[in-house]
């Protein structure tokens, strides 16, 4: 089974599974397709994180996030409070392609060239703009029109319409080179030279050596108990630690109580989110540079201290967030016939990333450097060769020694809170993955509590009474894909969020 946020990606993954590919082969195939047909969300110019559980047991983590150029230093930015989101200084070296290769080399059967075939075909022969893609492209039109990629990302100054046919010939050539030469075809040679030249022309500090040094890293996941389950997350520099803190806080309350209202649940999630994100912003950074005390953050002493400030009748003062709030990502999950489980997330951060596109390679660069702190001495402060704090996180729910559910929740900052909400609805309320994915969402950020418009007016009024500054939004909040494994019956139960274009399917 595969669950993705785009129909073409789900079908590509299924084709790979049908010919004997593993979850690793199929996940890379799906991600590469979305790098073509979901250009505002993801791409070869982005980053990715993976949790992979061979035979559904003992997961490992793969970090495909990129580093700042070796020549970029905080002091050279002149003390600016924030970088423009289209600045070349926000472009860290893309890590996704290195991670794709590492994942397939360790767990694949068919090879990177076979995994990239569907994406190459779409890029070369053309693809159609699906409804959510078209909606988001139109929403980004004004930003694209003033950005460095406007001549390539718009048609006569306009976003393409839904069902328009698009082609990506330059990107097809880059994907073909990667298929022939592996990741070195991206990080060395003509592609790397072209990418470096494009960024340097705009004032970037990037050098070819920065691309040549790119590599993915394997690591041990981090986890925390939740009732009789265990939530597994990717370790820092991602924000999975925040999801674990929020889940640990929620576990202190009886969320299975039928007497709890939706306002109660939204309030409790908001308070736990504020506490978890304050902790995240204080300590999460590149573990190669700064030790992150994961055990201390998840200890009973820490969680008890944070929980003591949660009042069910009153909202606590909001903590300030250091990072931009709303970003773009694709999450997908695959389970193969041998029950290998892949939880996979790929992103270029903002819609269309930095909007900087290299025309000769078709590579659209992310702007993950916005994830750095620009405060000297902060654990997450910008530094040469350093990885920023990331919002993208894949997740797993374990029961005993086996994966019960592979899932992810897209939506930038929202993702950690979304993981905790999905977990609670599955475990506390007994919902199936589709019910948990479709449930109305809320998110406490920047001093406001945003509710999707599907919440009732009574819920919004009650939350205001408790002191929340409530904003009701008609925009969809993130997206979710999930696959649950019923080991006893030999059944896979898939879900794909109605907020996106995709679907779950299996055979």
H or E, element range at 244: helix 240-250
Q: Can 42 be counted among the known catalytic residues?
A: no
Q: Which residues contact 277 (CB under 8 A, 6 or more apart)?
A: 242, 319, 321, 413, 416, 445
The two structure tokens encoding residue 192: 């790397």
Strands 222-226 and 229-233: antiparallel
Strands 328-335 and 2-3: antiparallel
CA separation for the pair 276, 164 (Å, rounded): 42
Confirm if 228 and 399 have CB atoms less than 8 A apart.
yes
One of 4, 90, 273, 329 is an active-site residue; which one?
329
Counting beta carbons within 10 angstroms of the beta carbon of residue 343, is it exposed (0 to 12), middle (13 to 18) or buried (19 or more)?
A: buried
Beta bridge partners of 223: 232
CA dihedral 226, 228, 232, 238 (to 10 degrees): 0
Task: Specify the 3-state DSSP secondary structure of 343.
Answer: strand
Confirm if 115 and 322 have CB atoms less than 8 A apart.
no
In this structure, is the dihedral angle defined by the CA atoms of residues 200, 206, 208 and 212, taken in order, positive or negative?
negative
In what side-by-side order are the strands of the sheet with 229-233? 222-226, 229-233, 394-399, 402-410, 479-486, 491-496
The two structure tokens encoding residue 241: 């630690």
- Catalytic sites, residue numbers: 329
């Amino acid at each position: 089974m595969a669950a993705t946020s785009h129909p073409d990606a789900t079908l590509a993954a299924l084709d790979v599974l049908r010919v004997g590919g593993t979850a690793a082969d199929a996940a890379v195939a799906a991600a590469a397709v979305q790098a073509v047909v979901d250009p505002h969300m993801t791409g070869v110019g982005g980053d990715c994180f993976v949790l992979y559980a061979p035979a559904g047991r003992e997961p490992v983590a793969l970090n495909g996030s990129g580093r700042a150029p070796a020549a970029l230093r905080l002091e050279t930015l002149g003390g600016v409070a924030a970088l423009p989101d289209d600045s070349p200084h926000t472009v860290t070296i893309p890590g996704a392609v290195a991670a794709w290769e590492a994942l397939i080399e360790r767990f694949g059967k068919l090879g990177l060239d076979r995994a990239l075939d569907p994406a190459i075909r779409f890029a070369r022969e053309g693809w159609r703009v699906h409804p959510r893609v078209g909606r988001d492209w139109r929403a980004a039109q004004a930003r694209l029109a003033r950005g460095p990629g406007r001549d390539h990302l718009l048609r006569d100054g306009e976003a393409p319409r839904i069902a328009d046919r698009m082609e990506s010939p330059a990107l097809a050539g880059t994907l073909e080179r990667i298929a022939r030469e592996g990741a070195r075809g991206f990080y060395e040679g003509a592609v790397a030279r072209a990418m470096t030249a494009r960024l340097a022309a705009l004032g970037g500090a990037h050098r070819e050596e920065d691309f040549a040094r790119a590599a993915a890293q394997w690591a041990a996941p981090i986890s925390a108990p939740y009732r009789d389950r265990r939530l597994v997350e990717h370790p820092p520099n991602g924000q999975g630690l925040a999801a674990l803190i929020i889940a640990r806080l929620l576990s202190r309350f009886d969320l299975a109580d039928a007497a709890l209202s939706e306002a109660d649940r939204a309030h409790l999630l908001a308070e736990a989110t504020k506490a978890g994100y304050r902790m995240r912003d204080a300590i999460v950074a590149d573990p190669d540079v700064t030790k992150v005390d994961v055990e201390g953050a998840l200890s009973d002493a820490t969680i008890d201290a944070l929980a003591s400030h949660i009042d069910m009748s009153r909202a606590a003062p909001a903590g300030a967030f250091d990072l931009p709030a709303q970003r773009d990502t694709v999450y997908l999950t695959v389970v193969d016939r041998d029950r290998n489980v892949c939880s996979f997330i790929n992103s270029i951060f903002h819609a269309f990333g930095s909007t900087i596109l290299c025309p000769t390679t078709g590579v659209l660069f992310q702007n993950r450097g916005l994830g750095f702190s620009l405060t000297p001495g902060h654990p997450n402060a910008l530094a040469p060769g350093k990885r920023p704090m990331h919002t993208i996180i894949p997740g797993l729910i374990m029961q005993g020694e086996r994966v019960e559910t592979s899932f992810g929740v897209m939506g930038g900052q929202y993702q950690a809170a979304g993981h905790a909400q999905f977990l609670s609805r599955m475990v506390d309320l007994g919902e199936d993955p589709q019910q948990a994915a479709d449930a109305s969402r809320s998110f406490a950020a920047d001093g406001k509590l945003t509710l999707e418009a599907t919440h009732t007016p009574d819920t919004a009024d009650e939350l205001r009474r408790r002191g929340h500054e409530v904003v009701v939004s008609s925009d969809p909040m993130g997206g979710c894909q999930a696959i649950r494994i019923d080991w006893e019956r030999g059944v896979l139960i898939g879900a794909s969020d109605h907020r996106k274009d995709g679907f779950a399917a299996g055979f």
